Amino acid sequence: MLPPPNADGCDSSTTIFGVNLAFDPSKSPHYQVICVQNCSSSSTAYGNYQIEIYSSETGTWRLSGSPFVVPSDMVFENGVLWNGTIHWISPKGSTLCFDIDQERLGSMPSPPSHERWDKRRFRYFGESGGHLHLVEIYGPSTTQFQVFEMETDYSRWIPSTISTLLQS
């Protein structure tokens, strides 16, 4: 069981939005836990977020970097570890990533879209076979979908040739 994050510099209304495990046994037997919390009591569309990192090696939490601002619909509970970086995506396609070794926030390109919906329907966002993948469904049902793969240099999402219509 982990101790709760410190929430240093945050007021009593701190909310934890996501906790993600970072563990690569090929690099180290130790793991880290990345906690994203909101340090703002404001109800605006953007929040004042802070990252804390738990180290299994030291058994302690520590703050990482300064507070940052992102759209409030960022989905922090579904972070994906790929290439030493935790990746998050929002239902509208906004992206954020956190390089764990350098403790640096960044972004990646938004996935291309042929639809003009307010809320995109991502069915899967994860790592598979050393690649970062995203599956987006189209249309009124879940039978039409597009598979995307992120370039390793983060330059773009590549549409897969496996865009399919499932037979009932």
Distance from chain centroid for Cα 67 = 17
79 and 30, same structural domain? yes
61 and 119, same structural domain? no
Domain boundary (90, 108, 126) is at 108
Strands (E), the chain: 15-22, 32-38, 46-55, 60-71, 80-82, 85-89, 95-99, 104-106, 122-128, 131-138, 144-150, 157-159, 164-165
CA–CA gap between residue 42 and residue 162 (Å, rounded): 43
Is 128 in contact with 83 (CB distance < 8 Å)? no
79 and 43, same structural domain? yes
CA–CA gap between residue 21 and residue 35 (Å, rounded): 9
49 and 26, same structural domain? yes
Range of the domain at 164: 109-168
Q: How many domains does the structure of the chain reveal?
A: 2
77 and 25, same structural domain? yes
CA–CA gap between residue 16 and residue 49 (Å, rounded): 9
- Give percent of the chain with pLDDT exceeding 70: 80
Please list the pLDDT of the chain residue by residue as tens digits (168 residues): 888 887 665 656 678 899 999 998 888 999 999 999 987 655 444 568 999 999 999 999 999 988 899 888 888 988 999 999 999 998 888 899 999 999 999 999 988 876 555 567 788 899 999 999 998 887 666 677 888 999 999 999 998 765 444 433
59 and 82, same structural domain? yes
At 45 the pLDDT is: 45
CA–CA gap between residue 81 and residue 104 (Å, rounded): 14
